[in-house]
Structure 1
Amino acid sequence: MKIANIEAFWLRCPIPKEKQHTSDYGLLTNFDMTLVVVTTDTGLQGFGEAKAAVGSSGSCASIVSCIENEIKPALIGQEAGHINKIWEMVYNGTRDHYALDRGRKFPILGRRGLTISALSGVDTALWDIKGKQLGVPVIDLLGGACRTEMPAYASGGWAGAEQIGEQLLSYTAKGFKGVKMRVGVMDKTVKESIKRVKAAREALGDDILLMTDAHGTFNVPEAKKFCRGVEDCDLYWLEEPISPDNKVGTAEVRASTSIPIAAGESEYTSFDIREMTDLRAIDVVQPDSAIIGGITEANRVAALANAHQIELAPHCWGSAFSFMAGVNVAFSAPSAVVIEFSSGGNPMMYDLVNEKIEAVNGNILAPTAPGLGLSPNWDFVNEFKQKIN
């Protein structure tokens, strides 16, 4: 079964005004993603997602160009089931034969950034194809589920100190036993971030997991100050306290507090994650399958998490395709215990696919449908795909 075609579509869908929110990224009025479609010579299709930005809004034109003009010509005619080989081909480029012969990497210059994001979408689509070909969910290809269900945490939390409790309680009313809120530069001051977290904990009580996400916007002193200010709030983790460019600084923040530190959504490949574990910078690792290098590389990160005895919590803020990629990796990993569930305006999660994605009483059930178990709503795709000059 050989690869006959690879297509990439930049989708941009408006977020209904009542579901829009403002964060450090500004007012988010649209949701963007790159839908990747791999078609085999048997007609079987697989689907994946590649991201141009960790947040929900960003131009995907460069990713579409990379997939169609660089990756596609190299992969047409390759065996669709040779996923590991294909990953090495894209990562090592014209020197891939050396890499496979010598057993080590000879990477291209673009071994970080958009090339790996583009590869992520193709890789995920190939796993989807293999699962469909064999009639099993991707999780079975990864060794099977470690659990039958997993608690989900509702990811949102942008309201001010006076409304944050009400906003988070609207999530727990749906059955979620954990919630995540945003903090950092969007609050203008560290003091205001502390105030919002204290208000959130007071409203939630002691039995709900509370995570915070700074989107990498504190500096090291600010992150330390924030941690001191919320030490008594029993945070499950503080996510991306400072810029992902400053891994040493992240390690410094972690060493200063008892609050677990989470990061990884902005990282490319397991090599970036290995640097973080070597620096003892994180307690929780959060690979995004649409950024890290697809399911292949997310699974390698899961192995790192297991070896370093840290928690795996895939970043699942994206379309239904990257969400289910993260879910399959998480369920197969012994070190994953909670999964992210988007609570913002996200048409790519609910309108892009024909299947219904939901949390049942705050839990996600282990996948059972072949591949990723998703099919695109082509009417939606055709309505929101962008023309690229």
Structure 2
Amino acid sequence: MRIKHVQAWWVSIPIQTDRQHRSDFGQVRTFDAAILRIETDDGLVGWGEGKNAAGSAGSYGALVHMLNHEIGPQLIGRQAGDIGIIWEMLYNGVRHESAAAAGHAMPQLARRGLSIAAISAVDIALWDILGKSLGQPVWRLLGGRKLERLPAYASGGWAPADTIGEQLQSYIDQGGFRAVKMRIGAMDGAPHVSAARVRAARQALGPEIEIMVDAHGTYTVAEAKRFVHLVSDCDIAWFEEPVIADDKAGMAEVRASGSVPIATGESEATRYAFRNLAVLRAADIFQPDPAFCGGISEAMKIGVLASAFNLRFAPHLWAGAPCFFAGLHICAASPASFTVEYSLGANPMIHDLVEETVEVKDGMIEVPDSPGLGVTVCERFLEEHAQDT
């Protein structure tokens, strides 16, 4: 089961005008990702996804070039089942043999950003191949699943104060969700504007629906603390990315300023960054993105860290199908997981890229039983939306 062929595409799928939304990222007109296909010499195909932008839009030319011309050639001829060994090889670069012999990491100097995004795509695809080769879903290879269906929350919420309740209620009506997430922060301007939107949402939805808020890292520490104070009586389930990911000490300060749980991690890569968050007591909930943090392998290690520090684990899954399905398997196998992010903005990268139907019923989403990730990519659709790079 040796790797024979590696091909990545920058896939950019237009979002119809009436389903677009505007946030601090601007007007979101396309859904973009780097989609990776790995084929073995015995005909097995695995699918992966890498992301260099946390939102759904972004430029993926550089990441795709790295996968096709730098990472891909290193994989040809290697055993596809050597997932951990390949991860460490790509992470440590030219020093991987020394690192293996010494028993500790000696990572290449550019060990973040595009490098880890590329490793993420490879790792997800290799787990898909391993599951298919054994006829088993990935969650079984990770230790089993704790539930056949997982609780999901509806992720969206960009409307102004006078219609935010209606928008979030429409999510609840679609899938029976008991928890919803709305965007706040720079898109609103001052913290009191975001607080007014949150207050309107709570009034519209009542006390039984959980409400999470996501600032995308756009507040200063002072603004985030002020927002926490303004919504102290709104029973917020979590406050996501209050400040930029680079300011972990500031994140810890925000967490210590109130009783709202802090969630973060979609912009973090590898177990080492999450270790620092835990040691600094900067977060209550870890949110690694499998297509950015280092793939399924690294996300599971991050989940173990969460468990060890008595924290919770809710991966960032505003993503394409390979990343989203990877997240389902990770959540199914992780003892610290408790909810699945389900995007209610337009997401053709989940619903149109694959043949499977992805939906939430009664606030729950099924964990796939099929071998590998459980996705069947429509290669014709992929090629129709692949960009020249």
Q: TM-score, normalised by structure 2?
A: 0.99
Alignment-mate amino acid for residue 243 of structure 1? I
The 10-residue stretch of structure 1 (219-228 or 145-154) with the greater mean CA deviation from structure 2: 145-154
Give the AA of the match of 2:76: I
- SS for the counterpart of 1:379 is helix
Q: After TM superposition, give the deviation of residue 360 of structure 1 in Å.
A: 1.8
1:354-373 CA distance string (max 9 Å, x none): 11111122101222111010
| Structure 2 Cα separation of the partners of residues 16 and 341 of structure 1 | 19
Post-superposition CA distance 1:191-240 (Å, at most 9, x none)? 10000000000011011111000000000000000000001111110000
Q: Is the partner of 2:101 in helix, strand or coil? A: helix
- After TM superposition, list the pairs within 5 Å mapping 1:341-360 onto structure 2: 341-360=342-361
Q: What is the 5 A alignment of 1:1-389?
A: 1-174=1-174, 175-388=176-389
Distance in 1 between residues matched to 2:21 and 2:386, nearest whole Å: 23
Distance 2:297 2:337 in 1: 17
CA contact (8 A) 1:318 1:349 kept: yes
For 2:270 and 2:70, the matched residues in 1 are separated by: 19
Secondary structure (helix, strand or coil) at the match of 1:185 reads coil
Task: Tell which deviates more after alignment, 315-324 or 359-368.
Answer: 359-368
Taking the aligned partners of 1:151 and 1:78, their CA distance within structure 2 comes to 38
Q: Do 1:110 and 1:116's aligned partners in 2 also have CA atoms closer than 8 Å?
A: no
Partners of 1:112 and 1:308 in 2: CA distance: 24
Classify the secondary structure of the residue corresponding to 1:12: strand
CA deviations over 1:131-159 (Å, ceiling 9, x no partner) = 01111110001000112221100000000
Offset from partner CA, 1:106-144 (integer Å, 9 cap, x none): 100121100100110011000000001111110001000
In structure 2, how many angstroms separate the alpha carbons of the residues matched to 1:208 and 1:151? 13
Displacement of 1:87 after TM fit?
0.2
Name the amino acid aligned to 2:187.
Answer: M
Deviations 1:49-101 (A, max 9, x none): 00120001111011111111211111111100000000011001111111111
TM-score, normalised via structure 1 length: 0.99
Secondary structure of the equivalent of 1:364? strand
Distance (Å, rounded) in 1 between the aligned partners of 2:151 and 2:80: 34
Q: In 2, distance between residues paired with 1:239 and 1:327?
A: 20
Moved over 6 A (4+): none
Q: CA RMSD in A?
A: 0.7
Q: CA deviation at 1:38?
A: 0.6
Using the TM superposition, give the Cα deviation of residue 181 of structure 1 relative to its aligned residue in structure 2, in angstroms: 0.1
Deviation of 1:18 after TM superposition, in Å, equals 1.0
Determine the C-alpha separation between the residues in 1 that align with 2:150 and 2:347. Answer: 22
Distance 1:136 1:358 in 2: 22
Looking at structure 2, the residues matched to 13 and 64 of structure 1 have their Cα atoms a distance apart, in angstroms, of 16
Q: Take 1:347 and 1:52, find their aligned partners in 2: how far apart are those partners? A: 18
The answer to whether the Cα contact below 8 Å between 1:7 and 1:36 also exists between their aligned partners in 2 is: yes
Secondary structure at the counterpart of residue 151 of structure 1: strand
Partner Cα separation in structure 2 for residue 232 and residue 48 of structure 1: 42
Aligned mates of 1:145, 1:110 — CA distance in 2: 35
Q: Which amino acid aligns with 1:218?
A: Y
Question: In percent, how many aligned pairs have the same letter?
Answer: 49
**Separation in 2, partners of 1:119, 1:318:** 16
Ranges in structure 2 where 5+ consecutive residues have no aligned partner: none
Distance 1:11 1:52 in 2: 13
